[in-house]
Amino acid sequence: MEDKPVSSPKPSADHRQKAKVIYVVYVIAALDITWMFLQFSVTPYLAKKLGFDTLWFGYLQTTVGVIQLIGGPMFGRFGDLFGARAALSLACAATSVFFVLLAIADHPVLLFIHKLPTVFMHVLPACQMVVTDLSEPEKRADSLSKLGLCFGIGMIAGSTLGGNLNTRYGEMVTALVGAAGSAFNLLLVLNFIPKSTKAETSNTKTENQNKKVFSLGEITRLMKFPGVTRIFLIKIIAGLPSGIFQVMFSIIALDFFKLEPKENGYLMAYFGIVQMVVQGAVIGQLTARYPEKSLLLMSIGVSAVVGLAQAYMQTVLQLCLTVTPMIFSLSVFTVITDSMLTKSVPSSDTGTMLGLCASVQSLVRTIGPTIGGFLYVNYGLTSIGLIKFFVNTSVFVYQLCLKTTMKQRE
């Protein structure tokens, strides 16, 4: 009886501690995205100085996609086995090494070598691991969406900072700033992120699992949980057309809309602001009011309509009008699918699942430029929009029929 007054405040204190860690994770995510966009102000110019043409620069980007495609599942599994702090520490350390190698890259071979640490550079998925472990299941989608707000902040800050540093001090200094920033992120991780963020039951269960960092058997096991394979395939199939448009956007902006670098910068800033609003405010309100299955269906439907609009747009104004619903649908789709997939597997396996989700983005970056380039060169911008329309419409109809069938069974 005497222990009751002492134990009652514990849930509240525990909740405050979890909230504090999540806020630190948001800071880490925003800073990491800042350094990544700072890097975008270095690599293209350095590649040009080293004699890269468009084809070889494409090879360089594809190399990153392939490396991260391989590293994603391994990194997620590493997080499940050794804890989110170990995963975040590894990711931040790899990012710092990445920038140091970029700073000393004075030969085309070194520019390729500096991409090797990207196999471990999964700071955002590692942040998702922590948020997933510490957030309540009913608030998970909202908590994950706030990472998108961090992405928007980092995109604007990194683009601005990188452009100014590169103009005034050159590529080497800009890259070293990125290395120092990543080292600062590592210090934040070591000082504020607990060694284990999973529940004790999850930790005990993990001890009895296969200890291999890369295990096809573990991936196959996760895919056998109810609904996982279906949602994962929807994430790939419905997300690929939008991803193709994203990876082709810089070429579309330059070649089709004839945008100058300054105008393109303004447009990217607009993208960042829209994403910040959607991920920071809108998604949380939606997930509090509507079921995730309904939001997934809505995002796919909106994406189909956006694809049809993009197939026939001709002016920059029309592009801007399609950007808001495009970012809205893509943000909702990404957050909801990640949330649904992590809820469909045991808490001890959420890191591996988030690693697989991250690999979907790497897959798009790997095959997207090839598919998008072929479509754009041979059939024009219209083909990219129409494929997005037909693919998302097909998935929308499938999901709607499935939802109707399940209601009838109930």
- List all residues 6 or more positions away from 198 whose beta carbon is below 8 Å from its beta carbon: 83, 84, 133, 206, 347, 348
- Separation CA 403–CA 339 (nearest Å): 19
Longest dimension (CA), the chain: 78
Q: Is 384 in contact with 375 (CB distance < 8 Å)? A: yes
Q: Is 27 in contact with 149 (CB distance < 8 Å)? A: no
Residue indicated by tokens 């394979």: 229
Mean pLDDT across the stretch 39-52?
82
What confidence score (pLDDT) does residue 83 get?
84
CB neighbourhood size of 204 (10 A): 11
Domains in the chain: ranges and CATH: 11-197 (1.20.1250.20), 215-410 (1.20.1250.20)
Residue indicated by tokens 């990876």: 247
Structure tokens at 344: 């469909």
Among 34, 44, 30, 283, CA closest to 143: 283
- The mean predicted confidence, pLDDT, of the chain is 83
Q: Is 190 helix (H, G, I), strand (E, B) or coil?
A: helix
Highest-confidence segment of 157-166, 283-292, 334-343, 383-392: 383-392
Mean pLDDT across the stretch 262-285?
78
Mean pLDDT across the stretch 153-157?
84
Exposure b/e, 250-259, CB count within 10 A at least 16 = b: eebbeebbeb
pLDDT top residue among 354 and 11: 354
The predicted model scores a pTM of 0.77
Among 100, 120, 241, 268, CA closest to 174: 100
What confidence score (pLDDT) does residue 261 get?
60
HSE-CB at 77 with a 13 A cutoff on CA atoms is: 20
What confidence score (pLDDT) does residue 299 get?
94
Region of 104 please: left (phi>0), alpha (psi -120 to 50) or beta: alpha
Write down how long the chain is. 410
Mean pLDDT across the stretch 15-43?
89
What confidence score (pLDDT) does residue 6 get?
45
Among 149, 187, 189, CA closest to 25: 189
Structure tokens at 138: 């009913």
pLDDT-derived band at 185 (thresholds 50, 70, 90) equals very high
- Separation CA 46–CA 382 (nearest Å): 33
pLDDT top residue among 40 and 169: 169
**Cα dihedral: 132, 136, 138, 143 (round 10):** -50
Please give the distance of CA 402 from its chain centroid, rounded to a whole number.
28
Is residue 7 scored above 70 in pLDDT? Answer: no
Tell me the per-residue pLDDT of 101-148, one tens digit each, with 9 for 90 and over.
999 998 889 989 999 999 999 898 889 888 888 888 888 888 888 887
- List all residues 6 or more positions away from 131 whose beta carbon is below 8 Å from its beta carbon: 22, 25, 140, 143, 144, 146, 147
Read off the DSSP letter of residue 278.
I
Highest-confidence segment of 41-45, 184-188, 240-244: 184-188
What confidence score (pLDDT) does residue 209 get?
52
Tell me the per-residue pLDDT of 193-209, one tens digit each, with 9 for 90 and over.
888 777 654 444 444 45
Mean pLDDT across the stretch 236-248?
86
Q: Is 231 in contact with 339 (CB distance < 8 Å)? A: no
Exposure b/e, 169-189, CB count within 10 A at least 16 = b: eebbebbbbbbebbbebbebb
Is residue 4 scored above 60 in pLDDT? Answer: no
Cα-Cα end-to-end distance for the chain: 46
